[in-house]
Amino acid sequence: MTFKMLKAQSLDISYDQKKILDNFEINVEKGEIVSIIGPNGSGKSTALKAMSRLIPVQKEKVFLDGRDLQSLGTKSISQMMSVLFQSNEPPSDITVEELVKYGRIPHKKWYERTSDEDLSIVEWAIEKTGLTPLKDRLVASLSGGEAQRAWIAMSLAQRPKILMLDEPTTYLDIAHQLQLLELVHTVNRELGMTVVMVLHDLNQASIYSDKICVISKGIVVKYGTPEEVMTQEMIRNVYGVECEIDSHFQHGKPRINLLGISKVSAQ
């Protein structure tokens, strides 16, 4: 029997009696890229945090490769899943290579030293992210896009089955945004690494995702392929924005052209 790579069911998260996630459900198949989109405060980052044990969840709510997240130790989870948040603050004097080496920690006992195998994985991760010429530079001295790639390299060195990214393109200019999403796409297609990410840009979500999950006020509004999800009606209801949708001339994915704020306010 094959399990879903990641599954959440009837997941509720509340802060101060305010429901952030209400009966959240998602099924992520192995090898998919799934984007979670939604307006500010819709609960998308909370969903990502809950599914990656950064927020505690109850039993039988989240399953990673068929196993209950609650019953897995944090170390076992780190061998299967890597989660990366925006705006990390590394120590000011850490180099790219040193940072990427930390990605091997989940696979080591506390007394074990870095092995040749670790080093070759680290080198591979650095090369994959195009950072070989920068490997001895300080992470703090890199541009936003380069630094974000360094963190992704650390996640790759972790050799996870699933990569969770929280708004990986925030703070990057458009060239670096696309570069990063291309990198995520390559990693997914070449290594079969499942990817779940929170994105803001609807067109980027449409182009780079196999499935899209739309959240509004903590509730999953729609879940499916970009073609199924991206409709004028959904965007009007969820964001309160009018748009036109056509097909991209190259790859046929839905292309969203924003027109303006809806006269009728969002639900």
Partner 1 sequence: MKVKPKKKFSIGITAVLLIIFMILSIGIGSVQLSPMETIRTIFGSGEPLSETIVWDLRIPRVLIAAIVGINLAISGALLQAVMRNPLADPGLTGVSSGAAVTVLFILLLFPEFGKWIPLAAVVGGLIAVTLVYALAWKKNGISPVRIILSGVAVNAVFGGITGLLSILYSDRLPSALQWMNGSLSAKGMGDVSILFPYSIVGWIAVLFCIRSANILSLGENVAVNLGENTNRIRIILSLVAVYLAAISVSIVGLLGFVGLIVPHMSRLLVGSNYRLLMPMSMVLGAVVLLVADTIGRSLFSPLDIPAGIVMAMVGGPYFLYLMRAGDI
What residues make contact with partner 1 under the rule CB under 8 A?
A: 15, 52-54, 73-79, 82-85, 88-94, 98-99, 101-103, 105-106, 110, 114, 155, 158
User: Which residue from 97, 101, 50 is spatially nearest to 77, judged by alpha carbons?
Assistant: 50
Q: Which structure tokens are listed for 218? A: 């903590």
To the nearest whole angstrom, how small is the minimum distance from the Cβ of residue 139 to partner 1? 10
Q: Rank residues 85 and 223 by Cβ distance to partner 1 and give the closer one.
A: 85
Decide whether 126 or 238 has the Cβ nearer to partner 1: 126
Paired tokens of 175 = 């060239």
> At 251, is the secondary structure helix, strand, or coil?
coil
H helices present in 35-115, as ranges: 44-51, 74-80, 96-102
Spell out a b/e string for 121-140, using b for 16 or more CB atoms within 10 Å of the CB, else e. Answer: bbeebbebbebeebbeebbe
Q: Are 211 and 27 in contact (CB under 8 A)?
A: no
Q: Are strands 194-198 and 162-166 parallel, antiparallel or unpaired?
A: parallel
Decide whether 99 or 205 has the Cβ nearer to partner 1: 99
Tell me whether residue 150 or residue 229 sits nearer to partner 1 (CB atom): 150
Supply the minimum distance, in Å, between the C-beta of residue 165 and partner 1.
11
For the bound state, the minimum distance from the C-beta of residue 147 to partner 1, rounded and expressed in Å, comes to: 13
Minimum distance from residue 114 beta carbon to partner 1 (Å): 8
Q: How far is the CB of 122 from partner 1 (least distance, A)?
A: 11
45 vs 206 by CB, closer to partner 1: 45
Alpha helices by DSSP H, 141-229: 144-157, 174-191, 202-208, 226-229
Nearer to partner 1, 99 or 181 (CB): 99
φ, ψ of residue 63 in degrees (nearest 5): -125, 130
Residue 200: both structure tokens together: 């803001």
Nearest approach in angstroms of CB 146 to partner 1 is: 18
